[in-house]
Amino acid sequence: MFRKAILVLLAAAICTAAAAQEDFLHKAVDRYGDVLTFLSKINGSYYRDTSYIYAYPTRWTLKTSANFDRNVISGSGRNQGQKFRASVKSPLHYGQEIAVTFSGLTLAWSWIPPSDITDNQFTSRYFGNRIGFEVYYQFSDAYRGRLLNGADTLSLGMGEVSCRSMGAEFYYALNYREFSYPAGMSQTYVQKRSAGSILLALSAKHYDIQSSVMSGFGDPALGIRSTALAIEAGYGYNYVPRSEWLLHASVLAGPLVLNHSTLRLYGEGKGMALRFPNCMARGLVAAVYRLGDWNFALNAIFDGSSIGDSKIQRVNYIRCHYTAAVSFRF
């Protein structure tokens, strides 16, 4: 009798948990639909000039791309009265990305094929003609570096430096009726005639770099942590030499309005104050070729920031990202 009661209670608990999970999934799908509805209204057809911009009738896009990345982070300043220089960088390495887009909202995952290093990134993005955003998280141990602290030199080999980073960028295109930012970025729209637009953006970035090499006191030999927010402005232009071709170029740059960053050597260091002209900048060039429901694209993205005071402590970050992508709409 006792066993039957236990089985009945267990079955009831499983059914309750399943019902709760199903209810959660339904609510998540509803919220997802509400977000897409809101974004579609803002970027709706009545907001664009159809003689300049064409929207595909299909809602799904599958994309695969070969990515080549290179990151360089350098720091300089004074530590305990001595000048120091620190530099960590990743070699130009190959990665693969798979992305799925539904109604403009994209989920993407990139990784490095089996090797001695790890580099994974998850990205969610929505590119509309009027507004859009991109959010990402990345972990990589594909770094090596070198520290110069006074007369002392320390080399950090591949895999002895790791980096966790995340970021978000939101943009607004003023000439959204004629200029399509996603035509060059995600190929979810077609730019029919050449046009350009002023771009406004809000960019937030966080990265945490740690070395696995420790000091005699158990502190990492190098530690860089930065959280920053910038307000950016720039310009983008889509050039259409022929109906199936698109050439895109855009640049965004602006000052930091929030900064919480530290650089530590052997456990010693302090925060970096916000100084003018601390800033972030981002540039993109792309070439897109359309063939029916297929798109072939080449992209190059250059991303950078400069934080701190060169007389005390300063960190510069540069990222180069090259992509060759193929996508199919259905």
Question: Where exactly are the structural domains of the chain?
Answer: 1-42, 50-329
Calculate the alpha carbon distances from 161 to 96, 177, 208 in Å.
22, 46, 10
Q: Report CA Rg, the chain.
A: 24
User: Is the Cβ–Cβ distance between 244 and 289 less than 8 Å?
Assistant: yes
50-329: CATH topology is Lipocalin (2.40.128)
CA–centroid distance for 245 within its chain: 26
- Look at residue 29 in the predicted model and tell me its pLDDT: 46
d(CA 300, CA 280): 17
- Look at residue 65 in the predicted model and tell me its pLDDT: 95
pTM above 0.85, yes or no: no
- Could you say which residues of the chain have pLDDT below 50? 7, 24-25, 28-29, 32
User: Is the Cβ–Cβ distance between 305 and 317 less than 8 Å?
Assistant: yes
Residue type at 206 in one-letter notation: H
- Look at residue 39 in the predicted model and tell me its pLDDT: 59
